[in-house]
Amino acid sequence: MNCSILGLTLFQRGHVYAPDDLGQQDILVAGGKIVAIAPSILADDFPGCRCVNLEGAIVCPGFIDQHVHLIGGGGEAGPHTRTPEVRLSRLVEAGITSVVGLLGTDGITRHPESLLAKTRALEYEGISAWMLTGAYSLPSPTITGSIERDVALIDKVIGVKCAISDHRSSAPNTAVLANMAAQSRVGGLLGQKPGISVFHMGDSPRMLEPLYDVLAHSDVPITKLLPTHVNRAEPLFEAALAYARKGVYIDITSSIDEPVDPATAIATALRSDVPLSRITLSSDGNGSQPEFDEQGNLTGIGVAGFESLAHTLRQLVTVHAIPLEQALCPLTRTVAEFLGLGHKGRLAVGCDADILVLNDTLEVYHLWAKGNAVVKEKKACVKGTFE
């Protein structure tokens, strides 16, 4: 049989980080899945197979970005400050092959239904996409009328999000927070989803106190509660390290440069006995970056990009001397494990063929999503429907 009919592609002689360092390997892909990895796979055994020579290149899993404002964020300074929808090309040029969308401060003019539509659109256009229901405020805006039903019944919904310890949150009490997390957990059980709860962290002195209150007054597993933006303030980051040492996950934001830049945050966490298996990195991409004075008045606003993911990876390797196979984990395997995506975050037989090629300066050079080329020589070769 002519293997071109099967859509076979053979990636040859790349230095594979799966993210474990496997050395030089060939990778055989069929139907968007990895079907073989070996030091040598003969193309002659698969007539019509397309061959891609990656000799000397770094080959690793595509990035998983679990915190993206797919339909835009912002709005803190009025309607004109609502950020736009994300473009497919921007995601893939940043090395992203899997994305989780969510809402932010604005749960009034942004809706979970619109987010679901965008999530489905990105999946159709070529990458893998999921979403969280809810927004900053509680009770959560939902699609079906409840968090539990959203997570259990809607294929793309894998959990819920809210904001705590932030002047833009709805100041939820412990019972409300615990009920939110419990609904996501049970919905996840019913729908075979992770059923996670993601907590946007502000810089309030309360820090992680609301999370500890939830743990003290509910039976939701601690591994299902993820605080994000934990590097936005030094006291918060120290509290997050103590939280992570309990064996749970923390999420560092790559677009937050100060007071704790993301690479320094990850390196510090490792030195503080927080294992890589509990550290994730996300961009907060397409979200607004507001600046407030001490009275809570907005003084400036920007938009978070996605390039910070690869930049953080480079900083981990070149500045903090963390081996590449370790530096990749917060962007790949660890995120996939937290999200319960067994077919993502690794280069292994049976996994999706999300294959990222980095050049010698660790820049995104080529990218395949589910076996299809989406970036060639740093430029997107696919576009969103209206790009």
The answer to the question of whether 284 is labelled as a binding residue is yes
List the beta strands (DSSP E) in 256-312: 279-282, 288-292, 298-303
The answer to the question of whether 67 is labelled as a binding residue is yes
The answer to the question of whether 278 is labelled as a binding residue is no
The answer to the question of whether 311 is labelled as a binding residue is no
> Catalytic: which of 26, 284, 352, 354?
284
DSSP 148-182: HHHHHH-TTEEEEEEEESSTTS----HHHHHHHHH
Largest CA distance in the chain: 71
DSSP state of 344: S
The answer to the question of whether 110 is labelled as a binding residue is no
Strands 196-201 vs 157-164: parallel, antiparallel or unpaired: parallel
The answer to the question of whether 229 is labelled as a binding residue is yes
Which of 25, 35, 28 has the alpha carbon at shortest distance from 10? 28
The answer to the question of whether 200 is labelled as a binding residue is yes
The answer to the question of whether 228 is labelled as a binding residue is no
The answer to the question of whether 87 is labelled as a binding residue is no
Active-site residue, 360 included: no
User: Tokens 């996950």 label which residue?
Assistant: 249
Of the chain, the end-to-end C-alpha distance in Å amounts to 38
The b-or-e profile of 336-359 (16+ CB within 10 A means b, else e) is bbbbebebbbbbbeebbbbbbbbe
The answer to the question of whether 149 is labelled as a binding residue is no
Of all helices (H) and strands (E), which one includes residue 81?
Answer: none
User: Tokens 């981990």 label which residue?
Assistant: 316
Of all helices (H) and strands (E), which one includes residue 274?
Answer: none
Give dist(CA 353, CA 343) in Å, integer.
Answer: 9
Q: Report the binding-site residues.
A: 67, 69, 74-76, 105, 136, 161, 168, 200, 229, 232, 284, 288
Catalytic site residues? 284
Q: Report the binding-site residues for Zn(2+).
A: 67, 69, 161, 200, 229, 284
Q: Report the binding-site residues for substrate.
A: 74-76, 105, 136, 168, 232, 288
